[in-house]
Amino acid sequence: MARTNPTAGVEHDYDDIPGTFVFDAEKSRQGYHLNMFCMSLMKDENRKAFKADEAAYLQKFPMTREQREAILKRHWNRMLELGGNIYFTAKLGATDGLSFQQVAAIMTGSTQQDYAEMMLKGGRSVEGNRSKSKNEKPGKKPVNKQSKKSSKKRG
């Protein structure tokens, strides 16, 4: 009897956060082989085999074409979208000689220095990063925070 995934295709509130791929049970199932590949890089002999012939090494893992392509092209955000876990994909970054901070900077489209400075200042602003649907709906006016504050009753 084939197993089915009762949560496949179910929408979650967190699916609406821009640039965010929450690693939930569904993503875990989707990215299982991608993540097992990344974990294999913890062994020196596997790192050497991978670096010797990346495409051939990836054939050991039954991943999708999209997952293999994301790995080969080092499309870090796409790996997460396809079920990669950030901490597992960091093993690939380390294999390439990159720190976690360097990979995160690449993922955010910034330099390592700019990324570090942003994090030291508290991270990315939440403005414009709360909801994809609110940012994309035509005719939807953003909430004016000043008018909201001034309309509150003061006691």
Q: Give the pair of three-digit tokens for residue 3.
A: 């197993």
3-state SS assignment for residue 91 = helix
Domain presence at residue 153: no
Per residue in 10-42, pLDDT (tens digit) is 776 666 655 666 667 787 788 899 999 999 999
Give me the mean pLDDT over the 122-130 stretch.
67
| Of 27 and 115, the one with more pLDDT | 115
Q: Smallest Cα–Cα separation from 86: which of 125, 130, 31, 49?
A: 31
Query: With DSSP H G I counted as helix, E B as strand and the rest as coil, what are the percentages for the chain, rounded to 5?
Result: 55, 0, 45
- pTM summary value: 0.69
Residue for token pair 């080092």:
74
| Of 76 and 126, the one with more pLDDT | 76
* Number of domains the chain contains: 1
In this prediction, residue 128 carries a pLDDT of 56
In one-letter notation, the amino acid at residue 146 is Q
Q: Which domain holds residue 93?
A: 15-97
Domain presence at residue 124: no
Domain presence at residue 125: no
